[in-house]
Amino acid sequence: MSGSDEASAGWSAGGKRTVSLLADGREIIYFDLPGAPARTATDPRELDPVSTASQLRHDPVLDEWVVLASHRQNRTFLPPADECPLCPSTDGRHTEIPSSDYDVAVFENRFPSLSTHADPVDVPGLPELVDSAPGIGRCEVVCFTSDHNAAFATLSPAHARLVVDAWADRTTELSALPGVAQVFCFENRGAAIGVTLSHPHGQIYAYPFVTPKTRQMLGNAAAHAERTGRNLFADVLAGERKSGARVVAATEHWTAFVPAAARWPVEVHLYPHRRVPDIPSLSDAERDDFTHLYLDVLRRLDAMYDKPLPYIAAWHQAPTGPGREHAYLHLQLTSIQRSADKLKYLAGSESAMGAFITDVLPEAVAERLRGIR
């Protein structure tokens, strides 16, 4: 079973979107640049059914949902390059990508933390205060390129723009799924971060709840609006642009800066100048502008220690329901690399109390990044 549909509004001119199914029924979507061949390959593998055993349990002390997905213990872990499941398929080896080539490919995770088919939960012995629920949602893998040895920082602007369009497409579709409260696009990069596959890729989680950090940020934004009548995130951006001390780089539509109270050894936020709730709301010009600034920032980060920097790139998007009116789309880049040969570990104060202690001044990090060309 396969299908194809034309590029939607906001896509790079001439781009193509093709939908198909993997052998176990999971969806795969190809996003291709103009001129790419049709992606019609079928998946000949015999695969076990995808686990639907994910569940949620609510922590009444912190008022947070925790996802339990024990089947993920058996997921693929750092295979050699010639066994990478994210590379295109060949005549002698079939991977998660049935096609012999692709530009950007998105597919449902084979080891999902959340599933649209999550089984009903019956957990005997839970305390009365602890609620439980099936782990409804969806987890997708976003392969940025078919080149195993590439990185997001090495993509061309046109290819990086294609990834942005894929994020927008998936945000729109996943937000419309029943029970989805928030869509989170992110990239974990580097073994130090804990990635299990070295092929350049990211992930997308469609949560059935609004995540703790988003709840906290939107709660603070609501309080700020009540006090001042203004948007908290817009005021933060305006303050950083006015100061300039922590601005790393800026374009017509975006500014990248190190936040004044940065928690991580390297932390850069990228904000659009126009307040929008999510990636699909970005205009063509804003998407193009973002790709140029983001590639610039990523290359500066890799030049800090003359080696690929481990990082987490996290998109903060509006939830699908209450709170959207206070949200402001932005990307947060963080790294645990505190020097060329040292990592920052979250020890007692950070892990137990949530009180971060950083060893570097945000102004010094911004100055160093500005000086890299």
197/87 Cα distance (integer angstroms): 11
Q: Which of 179, 209, 239 is the last residue of a domain?
A: 209
Measured between its terminal Cα atoms, the distance across the chain in Å is: 48
Does 349 lie in the same domain as 230?
Answer: yes
pLDDT tens profile 239-254 = 999 999 999 999 999 9
35/280 Cα distance (integer angstroms): 24
Tokens of 215: 């709840």
Of 371, 369, 347, nearest to 359 by C-alpha is: 347
Q: What is the DSSP letter of 262?
A: -
Using 50, 70 and 90 to split pLDDT, how confident is the model at 74? Answer: confident
Question: Rounded to the nearest 5 degrees, what angle is found at the Cα of 319, between the Cα atoms of 132 and 247?
Answer: 125
Q: What is the dihedral of CA 196, 202, 206, 212, to 10 degrees?
A: 80
316/185 Cα distance (integer angstroms): 8
pTM: 0.95
pLDDT tens profile 203-257 = 999 999 999 999 999 999 999 999 999 999 999 999 999 999 999 999 999 999 9
Does 286 lie in the same domain as 156?
Answer: no
pLDDT tens profile 286-315 = 999 999 999 999 999 999 999 999 999 999
Does 359 lie in the same domain as 229?
Answer: yes
The CATH number assigned to the domain holding 292 equals 3.30.428.10
Does 256 lie in the same domain as 200?
Answer: no
288/161 Cα distance (integer angstroms): 6
Does 27 lie in the same domain as 143?
Answer: yes
Section 128-152 average pLDDT: 97
Using 50, 70 and 90 to split pLDDT, how confident is the model at 14? Answer: low
Active site residue: 58, 148, 199, 201, which one? 201
Main-chain phi, psi angles of 118, to 5 degrees: -55, 135
Using 50, 70 and 90 to split pLDDT, how confident is the model at 4? Answer: very low
Of 224, 204, 220, nearest to 212 by C-alpha is: 220
Of 261, 268, 246, nearest to 366 by C-alpha is: 246
Known catalytic residue: 201?
Answer: yes
Instruction: Tell me which residue range forms the domain holding 44.
Output: 2-209
